[in-house]
Amino acid sequence: MKYSVDKKEQYVVFTPHEEKLDSALSPVLKSELLTVHAEGYRNMILDMSEVKYADSSGLSALLVGNRAFNEDGGIFVISNPQEHVMKLIKISMLDKVLNLADNHEEAAEAIFIHEIKNTTDEEE
């Protein structure tokens, strides 16, 4: 699986450079997402701008990432989902579970807001 990882101060941007997220690549994506999480990062943006197709195993990988980053108070945001992927997410009603953003700026803003909310909650 081809991908890039851009580590920022508050989050990591993980970008798969693949057109299909299917049963052949999903186990690799799950493993890579869990590896980044294990490195101590709390927040991730998964940039799906190059992924044109996903199947149920691809959605499973997204859910694994979402669960891992949410477990310790972080946030997992999917940015730039393409039309087919977005349809599958909506049909599966995962748009109610996953954090979705139209672009990188919205995703970064969601992380910023999440961090402020967490800081406020901890102070109370």
Model pLDDT for residues 11-57, shown as the tens digit of each residue: 999 999 999 999 999 999 999 999 999 999 999 999 999 999 999 99
pLDDT at 118: 84
Strand ranges in 1-41 using DSSP code E only, listed in sequence order: 3-7, 12-16, 20-21
DSSP classification of residue 94: G
In this structure, are strands 3-7 and 12-16 parallel, antiparallel, or unpaired? antiparallel
In this structure, what token pair is assigned to residue 47? Answer: 């940039």
pLDDT in tens, 58-72: 999 999 999 999 998
DSSP classification of residue 102: S
Specify the residue for token string 């406020």.
120
pLDDT at 124: 63
